[in-house]
């Protein structure tokens, strides 16, 4: 006669019961409800493990009710990528919902945290609705940027050319106080952040064209092209941009070209020419001044039309910036 294995059957039954209980708890959000009620009793804000308490399950929203993230880390979108994603949506459906939230600046609209490309692909198909995960908590500007930035990093990171525009905008709008704070937020060295932001002196058409070839064109190419533009002018830079895009210009070759275009001291002249120059403009496009970098170690800043209280404020901010930069240098030297 066969012998019954009661122990194994009891264990199996207990496992099934445990799974059933866990499923019921999860379905009814018992844990999340308990956390919120406990937090209310003791008077502290609830802990949102992965935003559990403020995340509304996947549902459909109108694409017309969405707006782009005002701090979107990505500026350049490949038409080829959007078309490919649209075909994927057609064949496989939308596998992952976009993430949206509310901002008081956009009443009645859903602000995209993550999923701009999916929205563009859905629009290109003529879709009216898109699946979304609604985040009801109010995100501050830094969080709105960093969530999108990190989400991109995990999948298909934005290019250095996207970073140049986004980082400059974040500093201009005062979202981050200075290069150091921004660098810490994106986990990059301040020197790297500074170099990337300097790419904004290139025409936007240059940045856009290089962004389309970001797999082979990087920061070193773009930075040397910036130097060539400053030293040799638009026509020379256009030539080298084409060389870069067609794969004929290595970083070393660009460095040599930038050096060849650098102004040199004429015989008998005591004047030392700058190696690099950054020009500043007013909001109306008028000239404001320039920053010149010299081979002998000098750095000269010259601004026009800044007087009175504005001049004093500028002086104080420059003092803070230089002191902060000096501390960074001292810290790097001590490592």
Give tens-digit pLDDT for 135-173.
Answer: 877 888 899 999 999 988 877 778 999 999 999 999 999
| Same domain assignment for residues 130 and 172 | no
For the domain that residue 137 is a member of, what is the CATH number? 3.90.1530.10
For residue range 47-59, list pLDDT tens digits in order.
344 444 456 678 8
Long-range contacts at 232-235 (CB < 8 A, ≥ 24 apart) = 232/261, 234/203
Check whether residue 255 and residue 301 sit in a common domain.
no
Determine the pLDDT at residue 217. 94
* C-beta separation of 158 from 149 below 8 A: yes
242 is a domain residue: yes
Do 81 and 144 belong to one domain? yes
Domain boundary at 262, 287, 310, which? 262
Q: Residue 32's pLDDT is what?
A: 44
Domain enclosing residue 63, as ranges: 32-40+51-156
Asked if residue 12 is part of any domain, the answer here is no
d(CA 141, CA 149) in angstroms, rounded, equals: 12
Run of H or E including 151: helix 141-154
pLDDT in tens, the chain (335 residues): 444 454 445 454 554 444 444 444 444 444 444 434 443 333 333 434 444 445 667 889 999 999 999 999 999 988 888 998 999 998 888 888 999 999 989 999 999 999 999 999 999 999 999 999 998 778 888 999 999 999 888 777 789 999 999 999 999 999 998 888 999 999 999 889 999 999 999 999 999 999 999 889 999 999 999 999 998 899 999 999 999 999 999 999 999 998 887 665 444 445 556 667 788 888 877 788 888 877 667 888 888 888 777 887 888 888 888 888 888 877 655 54
Q: What is the largest CA-CA distance in the chain?
A: 114
Is there a single domain that holds both residue 254 and residue 277?
no
Could you tell me if residue 11 is inside a domain?
no
The reply to whether 25 falls in a domain is no
Are both 184 and 221 inside the same structural domain? yes
- Count of the separate structural domains present in the chain: 3
Indicate if 61 and 145 belong to the same structural domain. yes
DSSP letters for 16-50: HHHHHHHHHHHHTTHHHHHHHHHHHHHT-PPP-GG
Q: Same structural domain for residues 216 and 245?
A: yes
**243 within a domain of the structure (yes/no):** yes
Would residue 167 count as lying in a domain? yes
Q: Do residue 59 and residue 151 come from a single domain?
A: yes
Does the residue 293 lie in any domain? yes
What pLDDT is stored for residue 50 in this prediction?
42
Same domain membership, residue 167 and residue 114: no
Q: Given phi > 0 = left and psi -120 to 50 = alpha, else beta, which region is 285?
A: left
Q: How much is the pLDDT for 185?
A: 94
Q: Which residues contact 81 (CB under 8 A, 6 or more apart)?
A: 117
pLDDT value for 80: 85
In a domain, 20, yes or no: no
Query: Last residue of some domain: 156, 178, 195?
Result: 156
**Per-residue pLDDT at 201:** 92
Give yes or no: residues 325 and 230 share one domain.
no
* pLDDT number for residue 193: 92
- From 233, 262, 291, the end of a domain falls on 262
8 A C-beta contact, residue 160 and residue 181: no
Which pLDDT score is estimated for 54?
59
Based on the fold, state whether residues 36 and 138 are members of the same structural domain. Answer: yes
Task: Verify that 193 and 257 share a domain, yes or no.
Answer: yes
pLDDT at residue number 318: 86
């Amino acid at each position: 006669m066969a012998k019954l294995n009661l122990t194994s059957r009891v264990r199996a039954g207990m496992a099934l019961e445990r799974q059933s209980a866990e499923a019921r708890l999860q379905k009814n959000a018992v844990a999340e409800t308990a956390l919120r009620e406990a937090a209310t009793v003791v008077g502290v804000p609830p802990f949102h493990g992965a935003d559990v308490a403020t995340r509304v399950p996947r549902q459909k929203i109108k694409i017309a009710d969405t707006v782009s993230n005002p701090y979107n880390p990505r500026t350049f979108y490949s038409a080829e990528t959007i078309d490919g994603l649209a075909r994927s949506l057609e064949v496989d459906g939308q596998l992952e919902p976009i993430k949206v939230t509310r901002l008081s600046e956009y009443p009645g609209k859903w602000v995209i945290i993550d999923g701009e490309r999916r929205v563009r692909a859905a629009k290109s198909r003529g879709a009216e609705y898109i699946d979304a995960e609604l985040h009801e908590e109010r995100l501050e500007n830094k969080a709105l940027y960093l969530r999108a930035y990190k989400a991109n990093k995990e999948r298909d990171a934005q290019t250095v050319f996207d970073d140049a525009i986004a980082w400059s905008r974040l500093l201009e709008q005062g979202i981050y106080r200075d290069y150091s704070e921004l660098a810490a937020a994106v986990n990059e060295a301040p020197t790297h952040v500074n170099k990337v932001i300097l790419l904004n002196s290139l025409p936007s058409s240059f940045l856009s064209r290089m962004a389309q070839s970001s797999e082979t064109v990087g920061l070193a190419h773009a930075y040397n092209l910036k130097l060539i533009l400053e030293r040799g002018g638009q026509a020379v830079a256009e030539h080298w941009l084409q060389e870069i895009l067609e794969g004929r210009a290595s970083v070393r070759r660009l460095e040599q070209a930038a050096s060849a275009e650098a102004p040199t001291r004429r015989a008998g002249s005591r004047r030392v020419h700058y190696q690099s120059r950054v020009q500043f403009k007013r909001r109306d496009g008028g000239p404001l001044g320039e920053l010149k970098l010299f081979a002998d170690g000098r750095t000269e800043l010259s601004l026009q039309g800044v007087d009175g209280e504005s001049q004093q404020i500028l002086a104080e901010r420059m003092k803070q910036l230089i002191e902060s930069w000096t501390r960074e240098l001292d810290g790097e030297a001590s490592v």
